[in-house]
Amino acid sequence: MDYTIKLNSGYEMPLVGMGSWLGKDEEVKFKNFQQMKLTEINIEMEKIMSDAFDAGYRHIDTAFLYGNQKGIGKGILKVITDGKILRDDIFVTTKIWNTSHTYARAKEAIYENLRQLGLDYIDLMLIHWPMAFKEGDDIFPLDSNGKVIEGEGHFFEAWKALEDSIEEGHVRSIGVSNFNHKQIERLLEKAKIRPAVNQVEMHPYYQQKKLRDYCKEKGIIVTAFSPLGSPGDTNFRNKQMPNILTDPVLAEIAKKHGKSPAQVALRWAVQNGVIVIPKSANPGKFENMSSLY
């Protein structure tokens, strides 16, 4: 089995990457995310990066929203400076946020991501979500009723900025995240460059077959976030939801092959041509999640 998959941009992307949303499940809670000191998040992430690279990860997924790009950038710089890994052997995915969907704001967001990461180029830049929020410094701009204020920008404008960033040499591949097939269809009507990737939630309990088939038809690779169903997430998952890691069918398959249920779930996705970005802040789990072959 291959360890990478070729994107329609011509670049190779590792099939297994490290997700970095919020760092440690047990220490960082979504409801307190905006109040957390970004310094703490980045110090934590710099250490996690060292452990991830030691375990063999070469694909890192992040985003402006996560607030951890400086720590990730420092972790990348250290392994390069120490002569352990070449920059061309590391694949970095990041995303522009919903408040940056106008052309001008999207361009600013691209440069800000580069600045925070301390990189000369980004391997893959995504539009994080198809919807636009009001421009400004608030990540989640709310009205007096507590509802998100919609922005004037459109993902068409943000996409044009991403296309131009390829021509300028700042980004190698571009894609989308959380787009359904109708939104991709609309984008393809105007796009000069076809999306290389669509990153969406996908796991054995939420297989996204129709969307995967559509993306395959259009030459778009699917990346699965939450490929294990986010069993430790108490913010978006209630206790009544089934846990992939304790699923009896996966447990039986895992026992037969001398693997863990997590490895079976990830291998299932990879064998279907889907990139996976499991998240863990536990160094002991890094090798478990990357040893799928």
Distance of CA 253 to the CA centre of its chain: 28
- Residue numbers of the domain that contains 126: 4-238+273-286
Instruction: Give me the CATH number covering residue 282.
Output: 3.20.20.100
**Residues of the binding site for substrate:** 128
Is residue 265 included in any domain, yes or no? no
Is residue 97 included in any domain, yes or no? yes
Is residue 49 included in any domain, yes or no? yes
The confidence score (pLDDT) of residue 234 equals 52
Is residue 38 included in any domain, yes or no? yes
Number of domains comprising the chain: 1
The confidence score (pLDDT) of residue 46 equals 86
Only one residue has tokens 């790009």, namely: 69
**Residues of the binding site:** 128
pTM higher than 0.85 for the full model?
Answer: yes
- Which of the residues in the chain have pLDDT under 70? 1, 22-38, 231-239, 280-291, 293
Helix axes 209-217, 181-190, angle to 10 degrees: 20
Q: Please give the backbone phi and psi of residue 271, each rounded to the nearest 5 degrees, phi first.
A: -65, -20
The confidence score (pLDDT) of residue 43 equals 81
Is residue 196 included in any domain, yes or no? yes
Is residue 281 included in any domain, yes or no? yes
Q: Which among 223, 258, 284 has a CA at the least distance from the CA of 4? A: 223
The confidence score (pLDDT) of residue 44 equals 82
The confidence score (pLDDT) of residue 21 equals 81
Token code pair at residue 50: 């060292």
Q: Which residues are catalytic?
A: 66
Is residue 266 included in any domain, yes or no? no
Residues 115-160: pLDDT tens digits?
Answer: 999 999 999 999 999 999 999 989 999 999 999 999 988 999 999 9
Is residue 261 included in any domain, yes or no? no
The confidence score (pLDDT) of residue 226 equals 92
